[in-house]
Each structure stands twice: as structure tokens, then as C-alpha cells.
Amino acid sequence: MSGLPFKAGFAALVGKPNVGKSTLLNAFLKFKLSIVSPKPQTTRHKIMGIYDGENCQICFLDTPGLLPHPRDPLQDALRRSLRAAARDDADVLVFLVEPGIPGDEDLNAFAALSRPDIPAILALNKTDLPAKPAIVDETLKAYSEALKPQAVVRVSALKGQGVPELLREILSRMPESPPFYDRGRLSDRWERFFAAELIREQVFALYGEELPHASAVVIEDFKEKQSGPDRVSAILYVERDGQKGIIIGKKGRALRELVEKSQRAMEDFLGRRVDLDVWIKVRKNWRKDPNSLKEFGYI
């Protein structure tokens, strides 16, 4: 240990859907904690990933994508979760954006999340992709004028480029504090939460159209075994009978593929064998039902 003071705090990763927040969190941790998908609105919960350095502990908050106009009670709940993380929980705000000149509506939505007493960093992601220099410059100028960040960093979360520099900028603005969690702990969430997320990630990967957004996963049972594989039982909820048929597929083939890939993902995540059962149930219009949103953990 060096003679430097210990720093610890919370850094909220804020950005529009599909900008790369979950990929950036995984890059910081060098471990796949948050599920990722090319489809927008994959992240539904505030997920904490804990980074332990020699003289620091940074608790990264991966937040739902910023939506200026929620279309249903689920999206409204996600926006409230994002706002709480940014305005109430964060010691440092990381505004993650991508090349593309923002409109006034987006700039106002971002600015509404900032606070004068919370240092902000602007991170331009996806710099590994081709982009016209003029577009990049205009993007950074627009966001910088609206957000007044203390630092601007260009990164590629997917390639790891610029991630160490961004980490240093975040750490330099963290308060002096003892650690909040035991060293070596990756998250404040339990394994059953990540089991549900891994199933939902496979739904995003295997099914198209609206179905991934109409699905929710609840872990009914999670039993660790001293000998033999863990036993995990999950319910995958959809909103309509037709969606249930799509999930199951002809002669159950689609469901078997979903279960097999989810089981392998759980085994990779947990580092041990898993036996997984997934049951499909219909909950009509659950995204508009406050009781369902509360039951599924979104409220």
C-alpha cells in the first residue's frame, strides 16, 4: 500500500439507450457483469459494479437508458431509477455519448440530471468506429456547452481504448473515504438477480421485434448444491399468448435453445454447473400494471 489517502465513492454511468454503458462497466471491471445487446433498452435495473484499486473503491452504477418521453409505466419507472442514481447516489457523473449532434431535447434531458455539486465527465464512446471529425467536434461542443464537464475523454468501451484514462479522471474526483464493501466483491446484487438477467440477455439475442421488451424473468428457486449442479427454476413472463408460442417455438425447439444457452451463460458466470428450468407464463400488459412492475422489481 502507498501513502496515498484511500478514496471511495459512486460513479453513475448515464447515457441514451444502446450507447454502451453496460459495455463500459464490464470494461472497467474486466468481467462481464452487465448483460449487453445491440437492441436498445436492454438495461432495466440500476446495476452496481465494484472496482477495487490499490487505494480506491469505485462503485459504478450502470443505469437504464435516458428516455426523454417514457411510453409506458415501465419506462417511467426506469427513468425514475436513472434520475435517483444520477442525482441522489452519485459522487461523480459520467455522461456517455456517441458521435452525433444532439438536439435540444436530448441536451435538456441530460442537463436535468446534472447538479452543480457533482463533478461531471463527458465520455465520447465508439471512437473505434468511423466518424467525420467535424461531427465529433460538434458533438463534443454541444454536450460540453450544455453539461459543463470537468473533463472530456474519448473511449471505445468495446475495444478498451481510453478506458484507463477515463478511470483516472473518475478516481481523481472521488472523495476520500473508507471502502463501502468488502474487497473482492463485484456487486451488491445476489446471484439470483444475475441469473434472471442472463436469461433475459438470451431472449434479446434469440428473439426479434417487440418480444424481448415484452418479457420479464423471475427466479422462483435458486438452490446451491454441495455436490452436483445448482438447481435454478425461472418464470419467463410475456404479455400475450402469441408471444408465448414464439418463445416455445415449433416442437419446443426455441425454448430448448433458450434454456441451453442461458444455462451455459450461468455456468460461465458462476463458475459451477447449473440445471435450469424455464417456464413460460402470460401476464397481460404487465408493463402497464403497477402491481406487476412492483412484483418484478422495477418499482
Digit-coded pLDDT (tens) for 148-162: 999 999 999 999 999
Q: Which of 27, 167, 155 is nearest to 97 (CA)?
A: 155
Band (87; pLDDT cuts 50, 70, 90): confident
Cell numbers linked to 193: 438477480
Instruction: Please say whether the beta carbons of 20 and 158 come within 8 A.
Output: yes
Instruction: Indicate whether 144 and 206 sit together in one domain.
Output: no
Across 156-176, average pLDDT: 97
Cell numbers linked to 139: 458533438
Instruction: Indicate whether 89 and 132 sit together in one domain.
Output: yes
Alpha-carbon dihedral sign for residues 256, 262, 264, 267: negative
Q: Residue 274 sits in a domain of what CATH number?
A: 3.30.300.20
* Total tally of structural domains belonging to the chain: 2
Q: How far is CA 140 from the centre of its chain?
A: 24
Residue 94 has a pLDDT of: 98
Instruction: Indicate whether 153 and 215 sit together in one domain.
Output: no
**Mean confidence (pLDDT) of the chain:** 93
Percent of the chain with pLDDT over 70: 99
Which domain, by its residues, includes 128?
7-172
Annotate 80-103 with three-state secondary structure.
HHHHHHHHHHCCEEEEEECCCCCC
Across 268-294, average pLDDT: 95
Residue 2 has a pLDDT of: 60
d(CA 144, CA 269): 38
Maximum Cα–Cα distance across the chain? 64
Residue 53 has a pLDDT of: 94
Across 235-249, average pLDDT: 96
Choice between 62 and 209, residue whose per-residue pLDDT is larger:
62
Percent of the chain with pLDDT over 90: 79
pTM here is: 0.89
The residue out of 172, 202, 235 marking a domain boundary is 172
d(CA 214, CA 217): 10
Across 188-193, average pLDDT: 92
Tens-place pLDDT, residues 22-54: 999 999 999 999 988 888 778 888 899 999 999
Residues linked to residue 62 through DSSP beta bridges, in sequence order: 13, 47
Residue 41 has a pLDDT of: 77
Instruction: Please say whether the beta carbons of 8 and 177 come within 8 A.
Output: yes
Q: How far is CA 281 from the centre of its chain?
A: 25
